[in-house]
């Protein structure tokens, strides 16, 4: 039998996919059953995007759906199909868009950010590639670059002073953490080991990274 | 009220950014207050050539969009106190600014600086229109190549239709020995086609590559061949009458031998 509801997770968060050929009452029942089953899986306060909500459900149905999700501590976010497919790596994502959500998710970017590309994310960011000169990474949480970071990295962009920036080769032209900015020296030295930048006593300091240890 | 000069060419890679950086630094060497404006939004380079990339926090688009004050976006040069850079945005494109905003920006800058030099992007589209909008004067950069001269001619026409007549010409990357052999267009050929005033000629100089990579304009180095040429142009722009540099073909080995043996 075809499932009436499916939860899908991707880098944008959790989406609830509704089988539009099924009657609404049945959808609600199925959803309830799923949520009961997986109650522990969802953290309270998690936002669930419902891509079909606008086009497919009417006002009352939407309210019922949101009510049911709220019962399990989940927030219902309506969005069009398009919003979901939109690439997070848009050339210029407004910072304000990131400010509205408070979910701390880690975004994994499996490629190199090139000059002129700007990535804004409200959680932590891991880049499996390089950050080239002229590229910008802005994250609410920590930034980790598995390759070389030569662009601008802004961790803790919404004020988190504990945020850090780590890279296999940390040669960023600018490092920003919360409200502080540090720029590269005019004669940059080549970094030989993985390094982490963090705030110490209201200054951005760089030290050898202690990966995996705390 | 300062002078607003746009440096443009139509064709890419002929040396607009290098010229902007060197003329600006040249003015600063004379103690003039100068600001360089990078109008190449999305493909900025002037900050790299000036060695100021790591100091950028706000840019031109932040200014026009009101995200910061003009003062906050101006970066003071690391060598000269009277030299400033207004960098372009890298994560936006040419449509992020319109000609009216650029006009206002140039007016504001001209209040404070003796010279406002605008580095124009290649092409004739929005970026070009933005760059020339606020300019009082235009400098055309070309190289002694047919394609670059064609584009320069097109640009001169477009400037005229925008009411900016009498642009001045800089011929860049002249190789005297090639001109001598007739393998390269000479200055007279270029002037004949373009029919504009010649502001100066810059000899081909390998040191430009070094200086660009170092982020230190060649004009700073008095031994560089191009340095004197740029300094002369700066003096001409300031109203002095400086004769054109004598272009001498560099002597090849064979030529030197011939000289020694008295041929």
pLDDT, block means (10 residues), chain A with 214 residues: 71 74 80 78 74 70 81 73 45 46 77 94 96 96 96 96 96 95 86 92 93 55
Q: Tell me the chain A residues in contact with residue B215 when contact means C-beta distances shorter than 8 Å.
A: 186
Report how many domains make up chain B: 1
Of the residues A131, A152, A153, A188, the best mutation for testing chain B's interface (the one with the most B CB atoms within 10 Å of its CB) is A152
The predicted pLDDT at position A23 comes to 79
CB contact under 8 A, B54 and A136: no
Residues A137-184: pLDDT tens digits? Answer: 999 999 999 999 999 999 999 999 999 999 999 999 999 999 999 999
**Cβ atoms < 10 Å from Cβ of B113:** 23
Cβ contact, residue pair B90, A134, below 8 Å: yes
CB pairs under 8 A between A and B: 29
CATH of the domain at B81: 3.40.50.300
Q: What is the pLDDT of residue A212?
A: 59
- The residue in chain B having the minimum alpha-carbon distance to the alpha carbon of residue A117 is B91
Parallel, antiparallel, or unpaired for β A5-10 and A13-18?
antiparallel
Contact yes or no for B91 and A174 at CB 8 A: no
> Which residues in chain A touch residue B78, judged by CB atoms under 8 angstroms apart?
186
Q: Is A161 on the interface with B (CB under 8 A)?
A: no
Q: CA-to-CA distance for B207 and B156, rounded, in angstroms?
A: 30
Q: In Å, how far is B5's CA from the nearest CA of chain A?
A: 27
Check whether B111 has a pLDDT greater than 60: yes
ipTM surpassing 0.90:
no
Average pLDDT over residues B169-174: 97
CB contact under 8 A, A116 and B42: yes
Quick one: tokens of A10? 């991707």
Contact status of B78 with chain A (Cβ, < 8 Å): yes
Q: What's the average model confidence in pLDDT over B62-76?
A: 97
Of A30-34, B81-85, B178-182, B195-199, the range with the lowest mean pLDDT is: A30-34
From chain A residues 166-185, the ones with a CB under 8 A of any chain B CB are 173-174, 181, 183-184
Taking all residues of chain B, what is their mean pLDDT, rounded to a whole number? 93
How far apart are the C-alpha atoms of A139 and B56, rounded to whole Å? 19
φ/ψ of residue B200, rounded to 5: 170, 165
| CB-based contact B28:B83 (threshold 8 Å) | yes
Give B176-187 pLDDT, tens digit per residue. Answer: 999 999 999 999
Enter the DSSP assignment of A43. P
At A71 the pLDDT is: 79
Question: What single-letter DSSP state applies at residue B185?
Answer: -
0.80 surpassed by pTM: no
pLDDT at A91: 45
Residues spanned by the domain of B192 = 3-261
What string of DSSP letters covers A75-97?
EEEE--HHHHHS-TT-S---HHH
- Given a cut of 80, whether residue B98 has pLDDT beyond it is yes
- Residue A6's pLDDT is 78
Nearest CA in chain B to A150: B54
The fraction of chain B above a pLDDT of 70, given in percent, is 94
CA angle A123, A125, A129 (to 5 degrees): 170
* pLDDT on residue B239: 93
Angle at A78 between CA A77 and CA A83, to 5 degrees: 105
Write out pLDDT tens, residues B214-249. 999 999 999 999 999 999 999 999 999 999 877 665
């Amino acid at each position: 039998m075809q499932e009436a509801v499916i939860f899908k997770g991707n880098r944008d968060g959790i989406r609830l996919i509704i089988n539009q050929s099924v009657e609404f009452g049945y959808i609600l029942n199925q959803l309830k059953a799923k949520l009961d089953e997986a109650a522990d899986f969802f953290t309270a306060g998690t936002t669930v995007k419902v891509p079909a909500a606008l086009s497919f459900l009417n006002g009352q149905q939407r309210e019922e759906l949101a009510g049911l999700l709220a019962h399990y501590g989940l927030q219902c976010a309506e969005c069009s199909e398009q919003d979901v497919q939109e690439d997070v790596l848009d050339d210029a994502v407004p910072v304000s868009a990131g400010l509205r959500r408070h979910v701390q998710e880690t975004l994994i970017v499996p490629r190199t950010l090139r000059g002129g590309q700007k990535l804004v994310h409200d959680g932590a960011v891991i880049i499996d590639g390089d950050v080239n000169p002229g590229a910008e990474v802005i994250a609410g949480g920590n930034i980790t670059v598995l390759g070389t970071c030569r662009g601008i990295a802004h961790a803790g962009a919404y004020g988190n002073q504990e945020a850090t920036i780590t890279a296999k080769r940390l040669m960023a032209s600018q490092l920003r953490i919360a409200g502080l900015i540090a720029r590269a020296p005019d004669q940059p030295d080549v970094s030989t080991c993985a390094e982490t930048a963090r705030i110490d006593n209201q200054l951005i300091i760089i030290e050898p990274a202690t990966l995996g240890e705390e | 009220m300062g002078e607003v000069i746009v440096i443009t060419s139509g064709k890419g890679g002929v040396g607009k950014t290098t010229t902007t950086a060197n003329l600006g630094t040249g003015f600063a060497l004379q103690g003039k207050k100068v600001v360089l404006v990078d109008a190449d939004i999305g493909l900025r380079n002037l900050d790299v050539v000036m060695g100021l990339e790591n100091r950028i926090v706000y840019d031109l688009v932040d200014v026009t969009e009101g995200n910061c004050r003009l003062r906050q976006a101006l970066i003071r040069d690391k060598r000269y106190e009277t030299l400033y850079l207004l960098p372009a945005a890298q994560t936006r494109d040419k449509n992020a600014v319109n000609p009216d905003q650029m006009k206002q920006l140039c007016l504001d800058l001209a209040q404070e600086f003796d010279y406002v030099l605008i580095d124009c992007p290649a092409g004739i589209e929005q970026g070009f229109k933005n760059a020339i909008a606020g300019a009082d004067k235009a400098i055309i950069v070309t190289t002694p190549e047919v394609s670059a001269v064609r584009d320069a001619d097109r640009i001169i026409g477009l400037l005229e239709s925008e009411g900016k007549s009498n642009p001045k010409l800089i011929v860049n990357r002249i190789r005297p020995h090639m001109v001598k052999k007739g393998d390269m267009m000479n200055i007279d050929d270029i002037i004949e086609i373009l029919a504009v005033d010649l502001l100066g000629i810059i000899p081909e100089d390998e040191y430009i590559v070094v200086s660009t990579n170092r982020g230190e304009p060649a004009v700073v180095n008095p031994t560089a061949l191009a340095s004197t040429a740029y300094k002369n142009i700066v003096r001409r722009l300031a109203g002095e009458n400086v004769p054109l540099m004598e272009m001498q073909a560099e002597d090849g080995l064979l030529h030197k031998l011939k000289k020694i043996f008295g041929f």
